[in-house]
Amino acid sequence: MNMELSRRGFLKAAGAGVAGTTLGAMGFGEAEAAVLAHVRPFKLTTTVETRNTCPYCSVACGIIMYSKGDLRKGEQADIVHIEGDVDHPTNRGTLCPKGAALKDFVHAPTRLKHPMMRKAGSDRFEQVSWDFALDRIARLMKHDRDANFIAKNAKGVPVNRWTTTGFLAASATTNETAYATYKVVRSTGIVAFDNQARV
């Protein structure tokens, strides 16, 4: 066979599925072709690779996600496989029992798909539109802030505290999300502001 072919190139070629011509091109004889015709095409053959990092602990292992469809081309992209990134200096391709099962997080049956609202006293969530949820949240914030904002303390010093609403931020969000969150939360005067680093 063509020894110049890399492992990945080989698998891609073999998995392309057009058994006769592809295998012929690699120099296989008929017997091998007969065996390979019964083998399922390699599942990553037609996938798109994306570099990411494991979202669990802060070793931050490099991972490669394989999707059917290319998000960057505006296509629907379905993650079908996740594995360790061999180029990453820390994990060098390895993953732990959590990281190795990351695909199950992406496709967990309990992934949230729609904004939901639970009314006071109700025993269920009801689906609502994003617009409804966001308008309502902004209104609830303004109502509480206007009613309870402490502009000055007893000495007349501007203190701009809003203590009756709090915000817990997430230590699994990106730095960029965290920074945007910081700006919004601080602009309102919220002081009850924390993240998982506290606990």
Partner 1 sequence: MTNAWTDIKNTDLVVVMGGNAAEAHPCGFKWVTEAKANRGAKLIVVDPRYTRTASVSDFYAPIRQGTDISFLNGVIKYCIENNKVQWEYTKAFTNASYIVKDGFSYQDGLFTGYDEEKRDYDRESWDYVIGDDGFAVVDPSLQHPRCVWNLLKEHVAIYTPEFVERVCGTPKAKFLKICEMIAECSTPTKTMTSLYALGWTQHSSGAQNIRAMAMLQLILGNIGVQGGGMNALRGHSNIQGLTDLGLMSNLIPGYLNIPTEMEENFGSYMSTRQFKPLRPGQTSYWQNYKKFFVSFQKAMWGNAAQADNDWAYDYLPKLDVPSYDVLRIFELMNEGRVNGYFCQGFNPLLAFPNRAKITSALSKLKWLVTMDPLETETSRFWENHGEYNDVDTKSIQTEVFQLPTTCFAEEAGSLANSGRWLQWHWAGGTPPGEAQHDTWIMGQIFVRLRELYRKEGGAFPDPIVNLAWDYKDPGEPTPEELAKEINGRAIEDLRDPTDVTKVLVPAGKQVLNFSQLRDDGTTLSGCWIYSGNFNENGNNMARRDNHDPGDTGAYLGWTFAWPLNRRTLYNRASCDVNGKPWDPTRKIIEWDGTKWSGFDVPDIAPNAKPQDVGPFIMNQEGVSRLFTRGLMRDGPFPAHYEPFESPVDNVINPKIRGNPVARVFQNDVSQFGTSAEFPYAATSYRLTEHFHYWTKHNRVNAALQPEFFVEISEELAAEKKIERGGWVRVWSKRGSIKAKALVTKRIRPLMCDGKAVHVVGIPLHWGFIGAAKKGWGPNSLAPFVGDANIETPESKAFLVNIEPTTPPSEVVA
Report the candidate in 70, 25, 19, 17 with the shortest Cα–Cα distance to residue 41. 17
Residue 83, burial from CB neighbour count under 10 angstroms (0-12, 13-18, 19+): middle
Question: Residue 46 interacts with partner 1 (CB under 8 A)?
Answer: no
Residues between 119 and 138 with contacts to partner 1, criterion CB under 8 A: 119-123, 125, 128, 130, 133-138
Q: Is 32 in the site for partner 1 (CB under 8 A)?
A: no
CB of 143 vs partner 1, minimal distance in Å? 9
45 phi, psi to nearest 5 deg: -55, -50
Q: Exactly one of 11, 28, 71, 83 binds partner 1 (CB under 8 A); which one?
A: 71
CA atoms within 13 A on the CB side of 58: 6
Helix, coil or strand: residue 5: coil
Candidates 33, 42, 56, 83; binder of partner 1 (CB under 8 A) is: 56
Binding residues for partner 1, rule CB under 8 A, total 121
Stretch that binds partner 1, among 8-16, 22-30, 35-43, 146-154 (CB under 8 A): 146-154
- Counting contacts by CB under 8 A, is residue 73 touching partner 1? no
Stretch that binds partner 1, among 3-11, 12-20, 28-36, 102-110 (CB under 8 A): 102-110
CB 66 within 8 A of CB 37: no
Is 23 or 65 the residue whose CB approaches partner 1 more closely?
Answer: 65
Helices 7-15 and 19-26 sit at what angle, rounded to 10 degrees? 150
